[in-house]
Amino acid sequence: MAVMKTKPAAEGKRCCPGINTKLVAFLLTVPSLIVFLGGRNGEQPAVEIEAAMPGRDPEAVSFLQRKTAHDDRLLGGLLADGFDQKSCHSRHQSAVYRRNAGRQPSHHLISKLRSHEALQRRCGPGTAAYTNALEQLKSGRSVASPECRYLVSISYRGLGNRILAAASAFLYALLTDRVLLVDPSHMTDELFCEPFPNTTWLLPPGFPLFNYQSFYLDTPERFGRMREDGVLRTGVTNGSAPAELPAFAYIHLDYNQTDHDKLFFCDDDQRVLRDIQWLVMRTDSYIVPGLFLVKAFEEELDGLFPERDAVFHHLGRYLFHPTNQVWGLIARYYRAHLASARRVVGIQVRVFPWEAESPEILEQIKTCTQNERLLPAVLDEVEDDEPAVAGAQQPTAVLVTSLKAWYSDKMKEMYWERAAADGRVVVVEQPSHEETQRYNVRSHEHKAWAEVYLLSVADMLVTTGQSTFGYVAQGLGGLKPWVLHHVANGTVGWPCSRDVSMEPCFHVPPQYDCKRREDAGLVVPHVRHCGDLPAGLKLVDRREW
């Protein structure tokens, strides 16, 4: 750190000997007071106030201070202003922690979000319109031209699945002018702040469909079943009149969805669904690429997302803000382990609880990160002429997330026992290792969400193929990851490859389009098959394809 040299008295201006010492003390106090008050009024993130306090390591906060000058706390207009910052610190502080500034939302998306927020306030829980809609649902009859329409998203399976499902449901609600209500189970309110101002996205207690969380293939109101049985029909001559429509329809888009369930992605069927006031949707996947196959949505999606590979990037940053308790985990870990790093490399290792530690996967990670120049190679032996670096240097921080600690421990040993060939300092850390995935355990869910978010603030990202955990991290961070290929029979071919897009993969899409029976991955230029799951679909940027 440079030392400021004091000018000789003859070179500088002389102090006036008669100046009041109390005035000097006051003037010295004013800058600190301004910073303090500015933070209280929300002009600057709280992390800046703490960074300015004496006793903090300058290197640990220098990155945060540099980023603040370019901080756009509303993410280019993506986020609405007017929230109580104390209730959700992450909403306006997250940009300070991100090294990647991210993509800018389109003006049309910003306008559409503000309109949807107004819809949520006008028709959401606690309004007369919502009460009327519940009474209509209880009656078991449909209503012609309902004042407000609703989509209930069922929450189930792992955290990554739930996030992708909620984002998918929100986009569908956005396209069809429906109020989104998310199933509050799985501690949704403890993980995420409310995304819509002055209203809630959580389905309140007392919902008339008391068993909606158990809806599945045998549910009589399943849309695919009603289409198969002829209860609902499409076409001008065979279409059902509003009075004949059910009070609600259950949309089943789980892994075992039938061909009739997949008719959801057809234009004719969307016209039928448009007149049903209440929809309940079950999916654990990212169905967004399927929505891009619906002709009726094409023009609107063009305006909302001119960059097709940034859909979840915008939806995720708009919807999913960690609650204060989770944000505390994120902020404390970042400042302690990542803030002073020259670069941060995130490595997400997805292994199932019953799987043993795999030397093959470890070798795959090492080969991938070194071949792609994400991390330096190490010297084979301890040598007298190890690369010497004068003075302190900012390290490369490696953030490993996995249920098991074995992979990070082995990498940590490698960079401790052997010097990096280029003389860089590499520090390997893992926030937690739960060993097994535990559903509905508060501490486990908090740590999982914190680790997804920490991965998203990395400079480079390595993920495990087909992992929703990795999908969410890459989308939030705006990162095209290097994807670890599946290890088959204990052997690995090419260890990893750069993904074509930061978008998640839709694992169980329709195989064909609705009219021509053409491969769904060839219908439009921005929907292609996934590299990590060839049967899946993902959005790509046409300019890069």
Q: Which two tokens stand for residue 481?
A: 């990851």
- Residues in Cβ contact with 194 at an 8 Å cutoff, skipping those fewer than 6 apart: 88, 200, 201, 202
Q: Is the dihedral of CA 43, 48, 49, 50 positive or negative?
A: positive
* Residue 112, CA atoms < 13 Å, CB-side half-sphere: 23
Question: pTM here?
Answer: 0.85
Per-residue pLDDT tens digits for 444-487: 899 999 999 999 999 999 999 999 999 999 999 999 999 998 76
* Residue 444, CA atoms < 13 Å, CB-side half-sphere: 14
**CB atoms closer than 10 angstroms to residue 511:** 14
Going from N- to C-terminal start, the domains of the chain cover: 107-232+244-306, 324-381+388-539
Put the strands of the sheet holding 248-252 in their side by side order: 179-182, 150-153, 278-282, 248-252
- Identify the segments of the chain with pLDDT beneath 50: 1-63, 66-71, 236-239, 243, 384, 545
**CB atoms closer than 10 angstroms to residue 8:** 7
Residues 68, 76: Cα–Cα separation, whole Å: 15
Host H or E run for residue 473:
helix 468-477
- Full DSSP string of 284-339: SS--HHHHTT-GGGHHHHHHH-SSGGGHHHHHHHHH--B-HHHHHHHHHHIIIIIT
Q: Which two tokens stand for residue 431?
A: 């926030």
pLDDT of residue 73: 85
Residues 477, 287: Cα–Cα separation, whole Å: 20
Residues 267, 276: Cα–Cα separation, whole Å: 15
CA distances from 77 to 74, 112, 195, 240 (A): 5, 12, 14, 42
pLDDT of residue 511: 93
Instruction: Report the relative pairing of strands 278-282 and 248-252 from DSSP bridges.
Output: parallel
- Residues in Cβ contact with 127 at an 8 Å cutoff, skipping those fewer than 6 apart: 121
CATH no. of 324-381+388-539:
3.40.50.11350
- Residues in Cβ contact with 5 at an 8 Å cutoff, skipping those fewer than 6 apart: none
Per-residue pLDDT tens digits for 226-245: 999 999 998 743 445 554 78
- Whose structure tokens read 């922690």? 97
DSSP classification of residue 218? T
What one-letter code names the amino acid at 419? A
Residues 331, 93: Cα–Cα separation, whole Å: 10
